[in-house]
């Protein structure tokens, strides 16, 4: 738990449940860092970035400096849509074309 903000570590999102809880701390951090890298690639066309926060949550930021904290992957997309003011639809041809 983060002593400063009281946030508990670890995610409960389904996408993280196949990670071995016994695996080394650095391996979990590496998997989380890779997840952040990939989410940033998806959000880059919307000019939104995401950072890991204490391995417990994520911080989204847009180009105007607005920042929001979300707990897991499930919250990322809803919050990102609010920040950029439009739907982020992975079935939309224009959205797919915008991915680098």
Partner 1 sequence: MSENTPLLPVHVISGFLGAGKTTLLKSVLASEAFGDSAVLINEFGDVGLDDRLIGDIAEDAVLLSSGCVCCTIRGELSEALRRLLTRRQDGDIPPFKRIILETTGLADPGPIASTITADPVLRHHLRPGTNLTLVDAVNAVDSRAAHPVWEAQVAVADKLVISKTDLVEHHALTQLESLLDALNPAAQRMGREALDQPSDSLFASGPHLQRFTPGQVKDWLGPWRNPVRHDPDHLGNIRSFRLGLEGDVDWTCLGIWLSMLLNRHGSDILRVKGVLHVHGDNRPVVLHGVQHTIHPPEHVETWPAHDRHSELIFITRDIDAERVTQSLTTFMERISDHPSPRIQHA
- Give the residues lining the site for partner 1 (CB under 8 A): 12-18, 31, 34-35, 37-39, 41-42, 73-74, 76-78, 87-91, 96, 99-100
CB of 25 to partner 1, least distance (A): 18
Asked if 16 contacts 23 with a C-beta cutoff of 8 angstroms, the reply is: no
Q: Which is nearer to partner 1, 65 or 98 (CB)?
A: 98
Query: At its nearest, how many Å lie between partner 1 and the CB of residue 54?
Result: 20
Task: Quote the CA–CA distance of 3 and 14 in Å, as a whole number.
Answer: 26
Pick the closer one to partner 1 by CB: 36 or 61: 36
Token duo for residue 28:
């979990």
Strands of the 57-62 sheet, one edge to the other: 48-53, 57-62, 67-70
């Amino acid at each position: 738990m983060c002593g400063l903000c009281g946030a508990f570590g670890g995610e409960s999102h389904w996408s993280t449940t196949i990670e071995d809880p016994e695996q080394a701390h650095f391996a979990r951090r590496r998997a989380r860092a890779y997840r952040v890298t990939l989410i940033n690639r998806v959000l880059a066309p919307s000019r939104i970035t995401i950072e890991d926060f204490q391995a417990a949550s994520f911080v989204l930021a847009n180009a105007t400096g607005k920042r929001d904290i979300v707990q897991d992957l499930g919250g990322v997309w809803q919050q990102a849509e609010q920040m950029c003011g439009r739907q982020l639809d992975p079935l939309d041809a224009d959205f797919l074309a915008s991915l680098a």
